[in-house]
Amino acid sequence: MKDIIIIGGGPGGYVAAIRAAQLGAYVTLIEKDSFGGTCLNRGCIPTKTLYRSAEIINLLGRGQEFGIDIEGYNINYSNILKRKDEVVGKLVNGVEKLLQDNDVEIIKGTAIIKDTNKVEVTLDDDSKQVVEGKNIIIATGSIPAKLPIDGMDEDGVLTTREILECADRPNDLVIIGGGVVGMEFASIFNAFGCKVSVIEFLPNILNGVDSAISKRFKSMAKRKNIDIMTNAKVTGIKKCNSRLQVTYESKNKQKSIESDKVLVAVGRKPNLDNIGLENVSINYDKKGIIVDDNYETNVEGIYAIGDVNGKLMLAHEASHQGIKVVENIMQVNDDIDSLVVPSCIFVFPEIACVGMTEQQAKEENINIETGKFMFSANGKAMALGEEEGFVKIVADKDTDEIIGVHILGPHASDLIHEGTLAIQNRLHVKDIIKTIHAHPTLSEAVHEAALDVDARGIHIMPKRNIK
């Protein structure tokens, strides 16, 4: 009997398997598709390879700003997709090698829970294999959500998975959903030369992001000719000759827009079907499998991590949950607090956030002070030609503790981790202020934002009551 059976080899499952093996557990990992899950195969990594190609296209278009005359370059979309597949393939093979090197038993097939310690696997040749284990970890991830409207099955209406496999670059693209995924694809395909239109049901795009950032980014996206319709409800999609017509309701009026392709980016839902939850009476709802603080279900010895529990659909959070679960199982008392989770949005420029927004802090009646520093006053950003955006720090005025960091600007996804470390360890604004930041670097913007909280900014217009 195995110590741990893991169903799903995504960023939650494979990380849990490796950590469990490191701790001496006998582990079986069951995966029906490629290792790495949605993130590696159909999400984070393939989109970041497209993002990098889009970033280079944007730079080529600005060559003259840097004293470089560039003429006659072409976008070879098939080669862009080829590079994407090569990067994904290397990483998938790398994950499998890591599992093998850690002596994790790998079974390729479709798993269904038969009993509290028994999993049946249908192998690729349709034969059955039964695996028994003391503990079971469900890490089956999530799948794209669909809208309950007519036309979702029309040819050319794509999920986020399908658009990554689409061989032809569309001339124009309507994206339903102005959240993180929708705006990432909007930024990428806009750079590829597509006419992009985004339809968002809510009043603002990037719901949950600090309002100053979402408003600024919306303005920047519109300047790049991305059409954004907010407070707009999509009511249907239909074929119109060789094109697709999307109808939507806005300001009590019915409107429509046509495009080559339609991308549905309205979120994801937990992958709960056909994994045997009913066989052992595991509790779940539409948000996912219900778990406690240790990610254990109502059935002792069965856990659920990552997107399938619906707590926070981020790959790095799934990995942390996986580590926490196996360390609890193996009775390792490393206290992993995953409440402080950064999030990154790969648009142009990048957005990254951690902790509370100014709006959230005010709703909780926290007495706050904020500091902001514009990248337009940062020497490294100016040298890079990436001057748009800012760093914003939210601090508890009574304690000086940093409770939120929000960045719109170059390399935001890298800069955010100073804020994550600060919030995780309950550091104060003065701790950032006292830390020397190398010059010239983008990280100086974080330092200056901290100084601004304390009304001590150097490369910024002075505040009153300088301390």
For residue 320, say whether it is annotated as part of any ligand binding site.
no
Give the three-class secondary structure for 284. strand
Phi, psi of 154 (to 5 degrees): -65, 145
In eight-state DSSP terms, residue 277 is G
Rounded Cα distance, 397 and 429, in Å? 10
Does the pLDDT at position 410 exceed 70? yes
For the residues 63-91, what does the mean pLDDT come to?
95
Residue 339 pLDDT = 75
Residue 337 pLDDT = 58
Residue 274 pLDDT = 95
For residue 197, say whether it is annotated as part of any ligand binding site.
no
Lowest mean pLDDT among 15-24, 284-293, 440-449, 455-464: 455-464
Confidence of residue 278 (pLDDT cuts 50, 70, 90): very high
For residue 36, say whether it is annotated as part of any ligand binding site.
no
Distance of CA 117 to the CA centre of its chain: 33
Mean residue pLDDT of the chain comes to 95
For residue 431, say whether it is annotated as part of any ligand binding site.
no
Does the pLDDT at position 465 exceed 60? no
For residue 140, say whether it is annotated as part of any ligand binding site.
yes
Does the pLDDT at position 199 exceed 70? yes
For residue 411, say whether it is annotated as part of any ligand binding site.
no
For residue 461, say whether it is annotated as part of any ligand binding site.
no
CA angle 392–62–414, rounded 5-degree value:
35
Q: In what order do the strands lie in the sheet with 227-229?
A: 157-158, 261-264, 172-176, 195-199, 227-229
- Structure-token match 């995953």, residue found: 338
DSSP assignment of 108-130: EEEEEEEETTEEEEEETTS-EEE
pTM over 0.85: yes
Q: Of all residues in the chain, what percent carry a pLDDT higher than 90?
A: 94
Rounded Cα distance, 169 and 350, in Å? 23
Lowest mean pLDDT among 10-14, 338-342, 399-403: 338-342
Rounded Cα distance, 416 and 354, in Å? 7
For residue 182, say whether it is annotated as part of any ligand binding site.
yes
For the residues 432-443, what does the mean pLDDT come to?
98
Residue 334 CB neighbour total at 10 angstroms = 8
**Helix residue ranges per DSSP H, 119-192:** 160-165, 180-191
- What are the CA-CA distances from residue 342 to residues 208, 345, 380, 407 (Å)? 13, 10, 24, 11
Catalytic residue annotation: 439
Distance of CA 140 to the CA centre of its chain: 17
For the residues 345-351, what does the mean pLDDT come to?
98
Distance of CA 293 to the CA centre of its chain: 22
For residue 200, say whether it is annotated as part of any ligand binding site.
yes
Residue 335 pLDDT = 65
Q: Give me the long-range contacts of 236-242 (CB less than 8 A, separation at least 24).
A: 236/149, 236/150, 236/151, 237/149, 237/150, 237/151, 237/152, 237/154, 237/157, 237/262, 238/150, 238/151, 238/154, 239/151, 239/154, 239/155
**Residues 30-60, buried b or exposed e (16+ Cβ, 10 A)?**
bbbbbbbbbbbbbbbbbbbbbbbbbbebeee
Residue 72 pLDDT = 84
Per residue in 83-121, pLDDT (tens digit) is: 999 999 999 999 999 999 999 999 999 999 999 999 999
Confidence of residue 466 (pLDDT cuts 50, 70, 90): low
Confidence of residue 264 (pLDDT cuts 50, 70, 90): very high
Ramachandran sector of residue 297 (left: φ over 0; alpha: ψ -120 to 50; beta: rest): beta
For residue 250, say whether it is annotated as part of any ligand binding site.
no
DSSP assignment of 335-401: ----S---EEE-SSS-EEEEE--HHHHHHTT--EEEEEEEGGG-HHHHHHT----EEEEEEETTT-B
For residue 141, say whether it is annotated as part of any ligand binding site.
yes
Does the pLDDT at position 202 exceed 60? yes
- The count of residues in the chain is 467
Q: 415 CB contacts (<8 Å, ≥6 apart)?
A: 352, 391, 407, 409, 442, 443, 445, 446
